[in-house]
Amino acid sequence: MEKTNSLVCVGLDSDHERLPAHLTGRNAMFRFNKAIIDATHDLVCAYKPNSAFYEEEGEEGIEQLKMTADYLVDTYPDIPLILDAKRADIGTTNKGYAAFAFDHLGMDAITLHPYLGREALMPFLDRKDKGCIVLCRTSNKGAGEFQDLKIGRDTLYKRVAIRIRDVWNKNGNCMLVVGATYPRELSELRRLIPEMTFLVPGVGAQGGDVQATVEAGLDKAKKGIIISSSRGIIFASSGKDFAEAARRETRKLLTEINKYR
């Protein structure tokens, strides 16, 4: 954030079926990612590949996710890399998930479900040098089905935030996922947790408003939010100029965000 004056995270949701037609053959997803990264690295504060798009392609997809992570670590080691995997299971299983994300892939952070509780997530939380980004108020339309349920006078998502703030964040490595599509809730959570960083998906293709997001989510230092856009950036063009188009859209988002900081 300091180096690039950016709160933009580019989501590397590199759906194989949406890659430009001229990118064919082996390692097409990696070659796509590499071009996007090279074109945008000076405009971002993080990259966030969604594991599902790579898992869908089987062994080749996982290999290209690893290649993408290795390329970032080797070429742009100061840029954080977030694995959007939304993992949650019992503790012994989470040891495997944590080892895959952090030790095999070399990710700096991972998204997590809170539903199984702190005890189950300790294999992640105990990694003091890694980020644990916990789902709190998600950006999807059906988010309120459970997240808005009342527990006493509080909503469930608010209880999640308070528990993470007061109990889970002993190592100072927790963050929250809070969707840009719910700026009122984002503002509420910022007041509740003034200093924690939020990962904020939902701008771009999902329709989140940039001004409302920035004004609701910034901390006192005019930072504290990682605003993620995926499809709106990486698929801005389906032609041979896809990387240039991605840079243009990243710069456009960066400029708009900073206008409201």
Q: State yes or no: pLDDT of 173 exceeds 90.
A: yes
d(CA 123, CA 125): 6
- The region that residue 38 occupies, defined by phi over 0 for left and psi between -120 and 50 for alpha, beta otherwise, is alpha
Concatenate the DSSP letters of all residues of 109-130 into one string. Answer: EEEE--TT-HHHHHHHHT-TTS
At 139 the three-state DSSP class reads: coil
Q: 207-240: string of b/e by CB count within 10 Å (b at 16+)?
A: ebebebbbebbbeeeebbbbbbbbebbbbbeeee
Asked whether residue 148 carries a pLDDT value surpassing 80, the answer given is yes
pLDDT surpassing 80 at residue 199: yes
pLDDT of residue 91: 83
Query: What was the pLDDT predicted at 204?
Result: 66
Q: What is the mean pLDDT of residues 146-175?
A: 96
The catalytic site residues sit at: 86
The radius of gyration of the chain from alpha carbons, rounded to an integer in Å, stands at: 18
Instruction: Return the structure tokens found at 177.
Output: 């996922």
**Residue 126 tokens, joined:** 């105990």
Of the candidates 15, 7, 108, which has an alpha carbon nearest to the alpha carbon of residue 53?
15
- Domain 8-259 fold is TIM Barrel (3.20.20)
The least confident of 83-92, 204-213, 242-251 is 204-213
The whole-number pLDDT of residue 205 equals 60
Percent composition of the chain: helix, strand, coil (DSSP 3-state, to 5): 50, 15, 35
Average pLDDT, integer, range 186-190: 96
In this model, does residue 11 exceed pLDDT 90? yes
pLDDT one-digit tens code per residue, 68-98: 999 999 999 999 999 999 999 998 999 999 9
Structure-block tokens of residue 170 = 């002993």
The mean pLDDT of the chain is 96
Model pLDDT, residue 13:
96
Structure token digits, residue 249: 């859209």
The pair of three-digit structure tokens given for residue 197, joined into one six-digit string: 């960083």
Cβ atoms 121, 111 nearer than 8 A: no
Res 71: pLDDT: 98
Q: Which pLDDT does position 202 carry in this prediction?
A: 84
Residue 206 has pLDDT above 90, yes or no: no
